[in-house]
Amino acid sequence: MKTYLCATCGVQYPPSVQPPAHCPICEDERQYLPVTGQRWLDYAECAQSQRSVYLEEEPGLLAISLEPGIGIRQRTALIHTPNGNVLWECIPVIHDETVQRINALGGIQAISLSHPHFQSAIAEWSATFNNAPIYIHESDRQWIQRDTGHVRYWSGERQSLMDGLTLVNCGGHFDGSSVLHWRDGAAGAGALFTGDTITVVEDRRWVSFMRSYPNLIPLPPGKIRQIVGRVSDLTFDRLYSSWTGAVVRSDAHAAVTRSAERYIRAISD
Ligand SMILES: [Zn+2]
Ligand SMILES: [Zn+2]
């Protein structure tokens, strides 16, 4: 048996003799299959061919990505606090050095994702770190490809992971799309981790919102207002989406508001 990863999205499937028949994540209109067709990677070979890159983004925030990278080149972030540690988003491969670095910071008490495009090897991460619970909004249950019994589907608009770290369901990109609020991030000014729910664009003073990024399918005004409404009472000055460098360093709360207004103007008559 091998553990296969989808080469296009990086999602890991349950161990099997043959590669899976389909990747429902890539067959969905928000993703895509390459013109050359579906391709599968063996996890063990990926662990050999990839290396992990570590970046201390700010005190308490360790980002880890893979080089040369797999799939949509997700990155993961370990938020380590006196109250415990949260792994936000997952990457497809866990190297021994990653385990050592994270254990030296106190391990992982909770794992969560912005949405199913960042699930990659969630089951592998949980198993490696003492079966840490994986928090996923119940609206995205159908998209989870490998649940070994440690996924905790949550419902409603907010879920506290620990003191100072709270999930907020915003919807939009996926119905279960959520952001993570880190009260003490950005030197106490607050930070928001947004994945594809709110994406940082090339002009780092602005953000955007889409149903599909690769296929350029926008969201309607009502969904934009819903996303902004769900984060409006949060205090945050910094905003990270889930790629290295994709960060609004300051004034992020105002950036979300003005970007939503610009977006709604752009898609309205
Ligand atoms: Zn896929
Ligand atoms: Zn996505």
- Tell me, what CATH number does 238's domain have? 3.60.15.10
Please report the pLDDT score of residue 117 as a whole number. 96
**Cα-to-centroid distance, 116 and ligand 1 (Å):** 10
The pLDDT score that the predictor gives to residue 242 is 85
Residues of the chain with pLDDT under 50: none
Q: How much is the pTM?
A: 0.97
pLDDT confidence of residue 245 = 87
Structural domain boundaries enclosing 45 = 4-267
Query: What is the predicted pLDDT for the residue at 71?
Result: 87
Report the separation in Å between the CA atom of 10 and the middle of ligand 1, taken as the mean of its atom positions: 6
Residues 89, 77: contact at Cβ < 8 Å?
yes
Q: What's residue 147's pLDDT?
A: 94
Question: Taking ligand 1, which is a single-atom ion, which protein residues have CB atoms under 5 Å away?
Answer: 6, 8-9, 23, 25-26
Calpha distance 269→264 (Å, rounded): 10
Tell me how many domains the chain contains.
1
Q: Quote the pLDDT of residue 215.
A: 97
Question: In this predicted structure, what is the pLDDT of residue 54?
Answer: 98
Report the pLDDT value the prediction gives residue 18, as an integer from 0 to 100: 96
Please name every residue paired with 169 in a beta bridge, in sequence order, or none if there are none. 178
Ligand at minimal distance from the CA of 89 is 2
End-to-end CA distance of the chain: 55
Residue 135 pLDDT: 98
| pLDDT in the model for residue 1 | 92
Element at 40 (helix H, strand E) = strand 40-42
Number of residues written out for the chain = 269
The H-assigned helical ranges of the chain are: 24-27, 43-49, 96-104, 122-128, 221-231, 252-267
Ligand minimally distant from the alpha carbon of residue 120: 1
User: 237 to each of 26, 99, 240, 243, 248, how far by Cα in Å?
Assistant: 34, 31, 10, 18, 8
Cβ pair 207, 197 in contact under 8 A: no
